[in-house]
A and B are shown apart, each in its own frame.
Chain A
Amino acid sequence: MTDGGLAGALAESTAEVLEKMFFVRATEESVPASGDVDGDLNCEVSFSGNPSGRLVLRVGLGAAHSMAADFLGDDEGALSEVRVSQVVCELANMICGSVLSRIESGTTFRLESPRLLSAWEASGPHTVTHSVVLGGGILTVEFSTERPVCPMSV
């Protein structure tokens, strides 16, 4: 699979998860992936398979609260930081699984439990990034693998 194909899978997975589970239609945005912003939540999901790698999701706190409220059906003001973080971790988990299901249809993969990162950490060379604009800010997803995704696994 080319980086373009992988980028398409990442974009489709992100849009599908946001629409089906968060009832949000996001607008695609071209923004730089690097750089850490105060108040952003960063979450990482590592995966093993063919190939292995990780997905890192970054979202502004305002957008995270809004999405968590949509997901849980609660008022934004009633949500604790812990619950918002749990929803962001689940969002990262679902996007990662969805991408892998698209690119590793001929094999199985394993996801590690999502974990919050204290800061944005740059990934390796085999990385694609996708950003969307939500009501309360920007959501960026970075998908990286230890080596290029094999065309045979598509």
Chain B
Amino acid sequence: MAYRLLIVDDSPAMRSFIRRVIDLSGFELAGCWEASNGIEALEVLRGQWVDVILSDINMPGMDGEEFMRHLAADEMLRAVPVVIISTDGTDQRIHRMLSLGARGYVIKPFRPEVLREALEKTLAVIHD
């Protein structure tokens, strides 16, 4: 099955790294979109349905927390699973993002297989 993916991160380098890890992990993509913050991500989601979102937290404009709140408030978009990828490994932040509906949380720095496993776990839920 080919997946449609949205990567949300203000760092172009990190977006490239995530895309590279996904490609090397063997995930078949039907489409991959990128956004540098929550505002851009919501614009993408108005025109494209995606199977999973990978999102940073600290971003200018609209950060990951506010982005998650917008998703939760939208009847359609709240169904899209989100995996957070962040440098913030504090317990408080992780709990807050999971309580906002994040399906997974990957702490940077991460080994490529950790991201692959988080994606596999999230996509397996879609199949169920």
A-side binding surface: helix, strand, loop or mixed?
A: helix
- A125 near B: Cβ within 8 Å? no
Q: How far does the alpha carbon of A16 sit from the alpha carbon of B114 in the complex, in Å?
A: 14
Count the A residues whose beta carbon is within 8 Å of the partner chain — how many?
A: 30
Interface centre among A89, A97, A110 (most CB of B within 10 A): A97
Count A-B contacts at CB 8 Å. 76
Classify chain B: how many residues form its interface, as a range. Answer: 20 to 34
Given A17-B109, A98-B109: A90 in contact with B13 (beta carbons within 8 A): yes
Contact (Cβ within 8 A) A111 B87: yes
Beta-carbon nearest neighbor of A102 in chain B: B89
**A:84-113 near B, CB below 8 Å:** 86-87, 89-90, 93-94, 96-98, 100-101, 104-111, 113
Where the two chains meet, the residues of B that have a C-beta atom closer than 8 Å to any C-beta of A are 10-14, 16-17, 20, 58, 60, 86-93, 96, 107-111
Where the two chains meet, the residues of A that have a C-beta atom closer than 8 Å to any C-beta of B are 16-17, 19-21, 68, 71-73, 83, 86-87, 89-90, 93-94, 96-98, 100-101, 104-111, 113
